[in-house]
Amino acid sequence: MRQSDRNAIAVTVGLNAPIEEEELAIYRGQIVLLPPTPASIELCAHARTMVEEAFHPYDPRTAQHVLDIDDFVARAANVKPRFIHDPQTRILQKAYLAELGFDPWRTYLDVPRMRVVSSDGYLVSGVGHKQPPHRDTWWSAPMQQIQFWLPIFPMTRECSMEFYPHYVESAVANSSNDFNIYNWNATGRKNAAQHRMGEDNRGIPQPNAALEHPGAVQMVLPVGGAVIFSANQLHATSDNVSGMTRFSIDFRIVDIEHVRHGIGARNVDNASTGTALRDFRRISDEQEIAPDIVSRYDEGEKPQGGVLRFAPDEVVKV
Ligand SMILES: [Fe+2]
Per-position pLDDT tens, the chain of length 318? 799 999 999 999 999 999 999 999 999 999 999 999 999 999 999 999 999 999 999 999 999 999 999 999 999 999 999 999 999 999 999 999 999 999 999 999 999 999 999 998 877 666 666 789 999 999 999 999 999 999 999 999 999 999 999 999 999 999 999 999 999 988 866 655 555 544 555 678 999 999 999 999 999 999 999 999 999 999 999 999 999 999 999 999 999 999 999 999 999 999 999 999 999 999 999 999 999 999 999 988 888 888 898 765 555 555
244 Cα to the center of ligand 1, angstroms: 21
Secondary structure class of 120 (helix, strand, coil): helix
Q: How far is the CA of 308 from the centre of ligand 1 (A)?
A: 20
What integer pLDDT is reported at residue 54 of this predicted model? Answer: 97
What is the Å distance from ligand 1's center to 237 Cα? Answer: 8
Report cis status (omega within 30 of 0) of the bond before 205: no
Centre of ligand 1 to C-alpha 57, Å, is: 31
Rounded distance from Cα 233 to ligand 1 centre (Å): 9
**Residue 46 CA, ligand 1 centroid: distance in Å:** 22
For position 157, what pLDDT does the model report?
A: 97
Q: What is the pLDDT of residue 99?
A: 97
Do 153 and 61 form a contact (C-beta atoms < 8 A)?
A: yes
Cα-to-centroid distance, 136 and ligand 1 (Å): 5
For 3-317, give the CATH class. Answer: mainly beta
CA of 231 to the centre of ligand 1 (A): 7
Q: From the CA of 112, how far away is ligand 1's center (Å)?
A: 12
> How high is the pLDDT of residue 123?
77
Please give the distance, rounded to the nearest whole angstrom, from the Cα atom of residue 236 to the centre of ligand 1.
7
Q: How far is the CA of 138 from the centre of ligand 1 (A)?
A: 9
Distance 134 CA to ligand 1 centre (A): 6
pLDDT at 179: 94
Quick one: pLDDT at residue 193?
54
Long-range CB pairs of 284-288, under 8 A, 24+ apart, other chains included? 284/104, 284/105
**Alpha helix stretches (DSSP H) within the chain:** 19-27, 38-55, 69-85, 87-100, 181-183, 256-261, 291-296
Q: What's the pLDDT at 261?
A: 97
C-alpha 83 to ligand 1 mean position (Å):
18
* b/e per residue 211-244 (b: at least 16 CB within 10 A): beeeebeebebebbbbbbbbbbbbbbbbebebeb
Cβ atoms of 240 and 117 within 8 Å: the answer is: yes
Centre of ligand 1 from the C-alpha of residue 168, in Å: 14
143: CA distance to ligand 1 center in Å?
13
* CA 161–ligand 1 middle distance (angstroms): 9
